Chains A and B, each alone.
Chain A
Amino acid sequence: MTKNKTLTIQEKIAMLDELVAWFDSDEFTLEIALEKFKAAEALAREIETDLASLKNEIKVVQQSFDQA
């Protein structure tokens, strides 16, 4: 599976949901289930890595609010 570097975590989660939903759909066939499962597993690992590496960017506004 290729890395989905340009996608956000939400988009990746949506993709994973789609993959998982396929298993419940009428399109499900045992022949391609393994391929889909491997793709879902890889995507889940990617999401996990993304989530673990994200950092917040905290910036204190320079403006003083003491005076009007």
Chain B
Amino acid sequence: MENAINPRLTVSDFVALTNQTLEYAYPSVEVEGEVASFKVNQGKYVFFDLKDNGASVGCFMTVWQLRQPIEDGMKIIVTATPKLTQWGKFSLTVRALRPSGEGSLKKSFELLKAKLDKEGLFAPERKRLLPVLPRHIAVISSTQAAGYADFIKILSDRWGGLKVDVAHVQVQGTDAPDQMIRALKYFNTQEILPEVIVIIRGGGSADDLSAFNDELLVREIATSRVPTLVGVGHEVDESLADLAADVRAATPSNAAQIIVPDRQEIIRSVRYKVQSVLPRTLQAIDVVREQLRITLQDAFTTIERRHQQSEERLMQLRQVLVQLDPTVVLRRGYALLRGEQKVGSRIEIETYHAIMEAKVERYDKK
């Protein structure tokens, strides 16, 4: 009877039974506390204590599960399973953790930023240009989010004829990074690749946006075959996903503005182009008109000059004629003689004032 009430177990069985009971009672717990005694063993195993003012509990996880850097003094929330180890030590086996509170989020962000920056993930030379006018894009977002609705509205207002494939994922919370990573992998392995992958999410608290600072997600964005555009939160928000993307948009609306041109602007530009040829044509007409005016002016000047020259010539001839006029000679006192010039013949003599007849009395040759 005594054995039925107090079963006698081996140590191994006791540990196994305790773990079974714990697993049944607490399959998964979230515990918030401050990190202490953080260390990584053999580059694989992570150990730290999670404590508050009243208690402390040991935590264990693998380094691959540590997707946001932590250090002593940071406040974090762990998602874990309680476990009794074979050495009788109680600990939390951590599956995921995230910084808690503004200070820890900022600290974790800075630590990871420095690490990834050192690896060159944010280097400007890694950035690729987005296609000028894509015809096929992929969007990773929550289709229920306001940021997604803004993006689609502005995209459709600005441009048309696009094929838009949307992956509906969580954009905040513990599962968000993995879902976005799967969506990125999905689009990167399609037979027909999209020309751009756009990751968007509207504004939120630092904790809401912390999914975009997940190390694996940031690495997935940085290694995406397809160029990436990330527009998360508001203009002032900066995420590591932003930094790893080929192009960063300040907001989801801005992402739509970056990815496609505004059709109204193109219509205005097309109208302007057509109108712009008018002044050029008018200018060409003016040039021809001016050339014509100059040619006519030249012709007129030539005619005028010729006319003047003729007038001058005429004047000269007139003067010559005047000089040759016999009356002018008669006026100077000379006389005009008509008739046969021989002795005895009658001749007519004309002076300026009279005409007279005379007889030749003598004729001597000079």
Interfacial residues, chain A to chain B (CB-CB below 8 A)? 9-10, 13, 16-17, 20, 23-24, 28, 30, 33, 36-37, 40-41, 44, 47-48, 51-61, 63, 65-66, 68
A16-B270, A30-B284, A30-B288 known; A51-B160 Cβ under 8 A: yes
Taking a contact as CB atoms under 8 Å apart, the answer to whether B273 and A65 are in contact is: no
Interface flag for B280 (CB, 8 Å): yes
A-B CB contact pairs (8 Å), 6 listed: A30-B284, A51-B263, A55-B161, A58-B152, A58-B166, A60-B143
Chain B residues contacting A30 (CB-CB under 8 Å) are 281, 284-285, 288
Residues of chain B from 155 to 179 with CB closer than 8 A to chain A in the complex? 155-156, 159-169, 175, 178-179
Chain A residues contacting B129 (CB-CB under 8 Å) are none
Interface-central residue, A33, A57, A58, by most chain B CB under 10 Å: A58
Q: A30-B285, A37-B281, A56-B161 are in contact. List 11 more A-B contacts (CB 8 A).
A: A30-B284, A37-B278, A44-B270, A47-B267, A51-B267, A56-B162, A60-B166, A60-B168, A61-B165, A61-B186, A66-B179
A-B contact count (CB 8 A): 100
B281 interface neighbour in A17, A33, A47, A61, Cβ under 8 Å: A33
Measured CB to CB, the nearest residue on chain A to B280 is A23
Taking a contact as CB atoms under 8 Å apart, the answer to whether A51 and B277 are in contact is: no
Chain B residues touching A, majority SS: helix
Chain B interface, number of residues (Cβ within 8 angstroms): 38
Chain A residues contacting B152 (CB-CB under 8 Å) are 58
B160 interface neighbour in A16, A23, A47, A53, Cβ under 8 Å: A53
Chain A residues contacting B271 (CB-CB under 8 Å) are 44, 48
Chain A residues contacting B288 (CB-CB under 8 Å) are 30
Taking a contact as CB atoms under 8 Å apart, the answer to whether A66 and B164 are in contact is: no
